């Protein structure tokens, strides 16, 4: 009896495996693989922009293009398996959203063209040798925040600010790079930076509270952990009248007073345009240089600004691409 169950389970596994074996052998003309490390608003927007751009420009489902989207749910081992699955599925091109997804993809194929998106520093991640001439089978778009312009805006809105506070996750490679860049840029402008590291969303409130009295403004970079718990920072900033700036636009609707940021949807579209060049055969991926975001978004929240003790001038409001009422 029990042995029979055991064999049934094994049999089911075999059938399951073969079913998927035959299923994946169905003929499809153009297959594009997408691998993404985790569900996240910015990364999801990137993917949506990419797909929209392709669909509107002759690479849609009706044009015979099939998109395989896989998400690793923040598990590196699964991300590695996804990379191998995409290679095994013989996709014509891969979009790798985020640094770890791109690294896992680059580790398993030297032939399939890989476009990365939402990667902050592709050179440090050793994805490409140089931004202008990546060579090999990989290129893409970067999401590096315009730190210099962000600090310029910060000084324009809060002219007296001398000390900037920031909360960041010391385990996120992008955040560590951002904080280092903020410090370098701040030094050029005669500003000092006080950083408060966290390792989980639960620590964010305490870290923000630790900055009270030590800083004039708080600037949050595109840190996944801190942005996830942004409300706790907003609360501290409102209570203590500390102006709060963000580096992603979604955070403005959630309570930051301003953000000059990369628009991830547009970044996705920009990556889509690169993909069309490669798929169309007009350009080889080795010849595509890594691209930056062309137009930045400025979101403003005058109501929150008032709660944090600053007024947004007409000149600033006029430049805003979106004003939250």
* Residues that bind another protein in the complex, under the rule CB under 8 A: 1-2, 5-6, 9-10, 13, 16-17, 19-21, 23-24, 39, 69-85, 87-90, 99-100, 103-104, 106-108, 124-127, 170-173, 176, 199
- Whole-angstrom distance, CA of residue 126 vs CA of residue 106: 10
Cα 108 vs. chain centroid, distance in angstroms? 22
Residue 244 CB, shortest distance to another protein, in Å, is 25
- Assigned token pair, 35: 């691998």
Range 46-77 burial, b when 16+ CB lie within 10 A, else e: bbebbbebbbeeebeeeeebebbebbbeeeee
* Distance in Å, CB of 103 to another protein, minimum: 4
Helices (H), 109-263: 147-157, 173-188, 204-211, 224-228, 230-240, 250-253
Distance (Å, whole) CA 220 – CA 226:
8
CB of 290 to another protein, least distance (A): 15
Are the C-beta atoms of residues 153 and 217 closer than 8 Å to each other?
no
Q: How far is the CB of 145 from another protein (least distance, A)?
A: 17
Supply the minimum distance, in Å, between the C-beta of residue 104 and another protein. 5
Residue number, 95 or 154, with CB nearest to another protein: 95
- DSSP designation for 110: S
Residue 273 beta carbon to another protein: minimum distance, rounded to whole angstroms: 26
**Distance between CA 149 and CA 169 in Å, rounded?**
23
Q: Which is nearer to another protein, 10 or 184 (CB)?
A: 10
Instruction: Give backbone dihedrals phi and psi of 83, rounded to 5 degrees, phi first.
Output: -55, -45
* Neighbouring C-alpha atoms within 13 Å toward the C-beta of 7: 4
Alpha-carbon span 93 to 115, nearest angstrom: 8
CB of 229 to another protein, least distance (A): 17
CB of 193 within 8 A of CB of 164? Answer: yes
Q: Which is nearer to another protein, 81 or 210 (CB)?
A: 81
Give whichever of 20 and 313 is closer to another protein, judged by the CB atom: 20
Taking the CA atoms of the chain, what radius of gyration do you get in angstroms?
A: 23
Q: How far is the CB of 221 from another protein (least distance, A)?
A: 14
d(CA 142, CA 316): 27
Q: Which is nearer to another protein, 124 or 253 (CB)?
A: 124
Nearer to another protein, 30 or 108 (CB): 108
Pairing of strands 297-300, 258-261: antiparallel
Nearest approach in angstroms of CB 144 to another protein is 16
- Hey, is 253 helix, strand or coil? helix
């Amino acid at each position: 009896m029990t042995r029979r169950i055991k064999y049934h389970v094994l049999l089911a596994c075999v059938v399951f495996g073969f079913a998927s074996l035959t299923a994946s052998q169905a003929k499809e003309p153009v297959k594009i693989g997408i691998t993404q490390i985790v569900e996240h608003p910015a990364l999801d927007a990137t993917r949506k922009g990419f797909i929209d751009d392709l669909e509107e420009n002759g690479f849609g489902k009706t044009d015979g293009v099939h998109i395989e989207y896989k998400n690793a749910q923040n598990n590196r081992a699964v991300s590695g398996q996804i990379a191998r699955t995409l290679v095994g599925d013989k996709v014509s091109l891969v979009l790798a959203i985020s640094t770890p997804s791109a690294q896992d993809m680059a580790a398993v194929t030297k032939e399939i063209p890989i476009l990365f998106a939402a990667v902050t520093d592709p050179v440090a991640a050793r994805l490409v040798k140089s931004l202008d001439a990546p060579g090999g089978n990989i290129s893409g778009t970067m999401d590096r925040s315009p730190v210099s312009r962000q600090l310029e805006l910060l000084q324009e809105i809060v002219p007296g600010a001398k000390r900037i506070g920031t909360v960041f996750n010391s385990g996120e490679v992008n955040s560590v790079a951002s904080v280092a860049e903020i410090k370098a840029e701040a030094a050029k402008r005669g500003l000092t930076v006080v950083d408060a590291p966290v390792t989980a969303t639960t620590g964010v409130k305490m870290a923000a509270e630790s900055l009270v009295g030590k800083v004039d403004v708080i600037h949050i970079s595109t840190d996944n952990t801190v942005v996830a718990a942004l409300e706790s920072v907003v609360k501290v900033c409102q209570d203590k009248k500390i102006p709060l700036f963000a580096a992603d636009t979604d955070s403005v609707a959630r309570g930051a007073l301003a953000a000059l940021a990369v628009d991830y949807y547009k970044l996705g579209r920009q990556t889509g345009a690169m993909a069309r060049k490669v798929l169309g055969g007009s350009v080889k991926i080795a010849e595509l240089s890594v691209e930056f975001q062309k137009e930045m978004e400025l979101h403003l929240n005058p109501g929150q600004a008032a709660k944090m003790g600053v007024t947004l001038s007409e000149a600033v409001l006029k430049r805003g691409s979106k004003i939250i009422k």
